[in-house]
Amino acid sequence: MQAYVKNDIIISNKGKVMSAMKVQVKLFATFRNGRQELQEFEYPQDIPISTVLKDLSLSQSDVGMALVNGIHATTDNKLHDHDVLALVPEYRQRHH
């Protein structure tokens, strides 16, 4: 769905009006490379974590742990207004 935000209202490309929700995203370790540590996004209500990953150009396999408001979550979990999503990359041991 293509959409834009205006005055905390999301208007889809089909003209549907929805209220916007704000989600804070905290990135850890290598996820911070080229990105801000803390970001705020606006989305339609109840989007899955996987949508945020796509917007950050991250794959689900890159995520070692996702926390919503400090509670473990999967990428299918839905986000709600004022949630805080923390994303930690998968640990990969380097071979020397």
DSSP state of 59: -
pLDDT at residue number 4: 46
CATH assignment of 19-89, among 3.30.70.360, 3.40.630.10, 3.10.20.30, 2.40.50.100: 3.10.20.30
Annotated domain spans of the chain = 19-89
pLDDT in tens, 39-71: 999 998 889 999 999 999 999 999 999 999 999
User: Considering the chain, what percentage of its residues have pLDDT values greater than 70?
Assistant: 77
State pTM to two decimals. 0.78
pLDDT at residue number 8: 55
Question: Which residue shows structure tokens 């396999």?
Answer: 61
- Distance in angstroms (rounded) separating the CA atoms of residues 32 and 35: 5
Our CA angle for 73, 63, 2, nearest 5°, is 80
